[in-house]
Structure 1
């Protein structure tokens, strides 16, 4: 039994864990270590300060912090007083930070001294902010709203009486891979339901050590803390994945058992020539989400870490997680993301919204207690994604992602609906082309888009990065694709680049590729 089982609010599992394991290490960040009792105490101190500044249940609090003990404690502090957490990626620039704070109508900002170049330029534009608490710095003067981080002398705050499981707990902004970020509204019940379902198949436990280099502003990173602390595990927080060797060193020293990653991280590992110098034999479980995991990476991970179980997963910020592939199915259907996680329903529909049988291709729809309430202050966009579904007597989330299913109902990602390329009258899945490119030895990453073409309508264009020291030409890459793909799917254009554009969360953004494309004659 985990602390999630009978929790009604997001801070309840931490309180239960602190009673059961007060002196056990809960969080590690750099040289700092905090026990479960420490994290709960720090959350209480921050919560008391929030209350002192007239924070009311339902008020929004922006958290603009690097991964760390303060960031994790601050999240729980916000929930303890019944407020709504709005995590913002620490790489966010001043103009966007101001835009997100204003969009959320945040009353308070929790941040740090090292991020001052961004927040200092943002808060002057934000009229909704009543105070800005800064860790690592005394108040600089000038703006009276800028205050030092709450002192340890503060008293713990009690949970707000008005907080209920169906109250809003977080507004998590989408990564913006397809346009302007939207604030996904999630209740305590939504988030705890998602956590319970993920825990049901991952089976994390109190002896686990989870290393996360994923930002807490990214739901995949946020849930590492929620799940880890709920089961009594130790969570090691890295500020980022900029230095893979440093992360691997930490994994070896801390005897990490669980590593949640994204394809970008695994691609960097594949390019390292001295990976065997790190003692990673404690690693028992690796998860991958956020983007499809290329087959080449799956094969490499399994060969490099034969003792671990690999979970290839799929989800969206709008509902956290939708599906996972049991590790024992990797040999049977390695390119699948599974059939759906516990406590939900999911199915495919055609363009008219009709439910499709197994063996079809269509848009993925999901229904369950983890599905968002909608997009913050965006009723039109909400109506496009959340629709009444008589078949389940509930609202369902239309994901906008195209999948195919096999005869047993396993899901295979095809493309985002807006990413499908129409060339020569045929529909091309960018994922299939990207998989063919990833299968070429020396290719690190690949992204495929459609570009305007007077003859074809759209031509397939690939952007490719190579592992260090690899020499491949565009002609060679096209030749490899010709041997693997139908002719209409083979890229007409291939561009070898040093890096691919990414969102703050590390996802490759095809919108960033398209902005640089001009019509092809």
Structure 2
């Protein structure tokens, strides 16, 4: 079955979008809203600062000149390993200004993961902060130009970002032609493969995301969008930052999420729009009730996958905020499926497909299935414009993402009802969703089997009442070999980002296998035993 909702966002495709780079957005902001507050920032220690569009623009130009002096050329890949901050925004848009390509790194990555991505992208320049400096002490990174951000302290082997841009002029030294189809960013996502895949975003993708989501959620010039998401995540960039700048509104950025202060900060900062995932909803609901918690100006909460009806109703009743359900992934650029800003929704459906996209559900033979029948969710848009063009240096996975008719295969399962509402059923077989992070079961399995004592390993997601899913690993040792649960945990922690490390381990004597030798994961119990992590 194929669905398309016409004219929902039709004006976006007819507007002046994407013949220009994202730099035009900032030029427009400078002309129209130089003195308006763009970002209100609260650090992990509670310090608050704010910057106008004009102040950010000047810092973007200074940073652009610094990068030009470093001989960063158009198309060069620059890694950025930072927490959410105004500095990240400045660096991101400065790189875009000169036609360079940002490669953001997950703050939970280990040295192994950072090394893979820097090598994959031929990165020769890295911006990071003191929390991550120890990851780059290996000789592999010796040739990389390293820049320390968010610190005034000198550090051997590093240029200091604040010091370097302070002496730069605000007039651009070299104006480079940057076009809508030029690459802008490579966002790595775990997906279902053993190594992260780099989704390629061009300037058109970013401008489109800003316009699309601003219209979808009804974001206006006087809105204040509150986010606790990390800056390396597509939701922070495409749902919060880009729509806010598109409408020249105000973004309220938190460096870290704190359940105990989350709602108080929303009220204190007078937020009007927020974004949430199930883990945030659940941990917020665990906090003691406060008499003033309904005294706020939030009219809508962007939300994605998955809550029970009881949890959803309890949250909306307690805080008097409707959850705006949606569905998308990094590769789709935007939430192509969602509720409607006029209040039309059909919970637990994740929404209807928005124009200019099409949606269909297919079987294992890539044939459309009837209404109410479960199959794979596939989305069609325009590659390189409304969807990503593909994965960086990964033709094999790009060819798996798109079929010969350019339908994007999400790997997710769902079904459509008679009115075109999409119901999400489950993620792809090897994908685990934990507190908003995608985890490749194959990647964790490959790390486990790299240990000389482990013959086979199977990793699955198990239910978690707070984080949606937890990671559970089944391990089979070679004859005469064994490891303790703590040793397994330590080994995984050394090679995997913390959110990928299994919460549960179970040792087995053998695995059930298919006729081709693959482990039958469906036969593995989803009960949790041997807890070793919280």
Cα distance in 1 for partners of 2:227, 2:109 equals 20
Which secondary structure state, in structure 1, belongs to the residue aligned with residue 423 of structure 2?
strand
- The answer to whether 1:161 aligns with 2:161 is no
Aligned to 2:350: 337
Which secondary structure state, in structure 2, belongs to the residue aligned with residue 96 of structure 1?
helix
- The answer to whether 1:325 aligns with 2:339 is yes
User: For 1:77, which of 87, 94, 111 is the aligned residue?
Assistant: 94
Cα distance in 2 for partners of 1:396, 1:159 equals 40
Q: Relative contact order (alpha carbons < 8 A, sep ≥ 6): 1 or 2 greater?
A: 2
The RMSD of aligned alpha carbons is 3.3
User: For 2:21, which of 4, 9, 12 is the aligned residue?
Assistant: 9
Deviation at 1:238, TM superposition (A): 0.5
User: For 1:296, which of 277, 300, 310 is the aligned residue?
Assistant: 310
| 2:262–2:284 Cα contact (<8 Å) kept | no
Could you tell me which runs of 5 or more consecutive residues in structure 2 were left unpaired when the two chains were aligned.
1-10, 43-47, 442-457, 468-491, 512-523, 526-534
- The structure-2 alpha-carbon separation of the partners of 1:186 and 1:151, relative to structure 1 and needing over 3 Å to count, comes to closer
Deviation at 1:183, TM superposition (A): 0.6
Cα distance in 2 for partners of 1:398, 1:353 equals 9
- The structure-2 alpha-carbon separation of the partners of 1:462 and 1:176, relative to structure 1 and needing over 3 Å to count, comes to closer
Aligned to 1:372: 388
1:98-123 superposed Cα distances (whole Å, 9 cap, x missing partner): 222222212221222343233x335x
- The answer to whether 1:314 aligns with 2:331 is no
| 2:210–2:245 Cα contact (<8 Å) kept | no
| 1:210–1:234 Cα contact (<8 Å) kept | yes
| 2:130–2:148 Cα contact (<8 Å) kept | no
1:132-185 superposed Cα distances (whole Å, 9 cap, x missing partner): 3433144422x3x54443332212436753421111111001145664211111
| 1:256–1:280 Cα contact (<8 Å) kept | no
Cα distance in 1 for partners of 2:38, 2:108 equals 26
Which secondary structure state, in structure 2, belongs to the residue aligned with residue 197 of structure 1?
helix
Number of aligned residues: 437
1:404-454 superposed Cα distances (whole Å, 9 cap, x missing partner): 11111211111123169xxxxxxxxx99xx9xxxxxxxxxxxx9x9xxxxx
Aligned to 1:239: 255
| 2:79–2:104 Cα contact (<8 Å) kept | yes
- The answer to whether 1:61 aligns with 2:73 is no
TM-score, scaled relative to structure 2: 0.74
Deviation at 1:358, TM superposition (A): 3.0
Which one is further off, 297-306 or 153-162? 153-162
TM-score, scaled relative to structure 1: 0.76
Deviation at 1:21, TM superposition (A): 1.1
- The answer to whether 1:248 aligns with 2:259 is no
Cα distance in 1 for partners of 2:119, 2:504 equals 28
Cα distance in 2 for partners of 1:508, 1:329 equals 35
- The structure-2 alpha-carbon separation of the partners of 1:263 and 1:56, relative to structure 1 and needing over 3 Å to count, comes to same
Cα distance in 2 for partners of 1:296, 1:137 equals 49
Cα distance in 2 for partners of 1:112, 1:182 equals 24
Aligned to 2:521: none
| 1:212–1:237 Cα contact (<8 Å) kept | yes
Deviation at 1:326, TM superposition (A): 2.7
| 1:63–1:111 Cα contact (<8 Å) kept | yes
Deviation at 1:95, TM superposition (A): 2.8
User: For 1:27, which of 39, 42, 60 is the aligned residue?
Assistant: 39
- The structure-2 alpha-carbon separation of the partners of 1:135 and 1:285, relative to structure 1 and needing over 3 Å to count, comes to same
List aligned pairs for 1:136-151, cutoff 5 A.
136-141=151-156, 143=157, 146-149=159-162, 150-151=164-165
Aligned to 1:350: 363
Aligned to 1:414: 425
- The structure-2 alpha-carbon separation of the partners of 1:275 and 1:158, relative to structure 1 and needing over 3 Å to count, comes to farther
User: For 2:275, which of 239, 252, 260 is the aligned residue?
Assistant: 260
Deviation at 1:361, TM superposition (A): 1.9
Which secondary structure state, in structure 2, belongs to the residue aligned with residue 220 of structure 1?
helix
Deviation at 1:347, TM superposition (A): 1.1
Which secondary structure state, in structure 2, belongs to the residue aligned with residue 132 of structure 1?
strand
| 2:362–2:377 Cα contact (<8 Å) kept | yes
1:346-398 superposed Cα distances (whole Å, 9 cap, x missing partner): 21111111123433321111121321111111111111112221xxxxx2211
Which secondary structure state, in structure 1, belongs to the residue aligned with residue 50 of structure 2?
strand
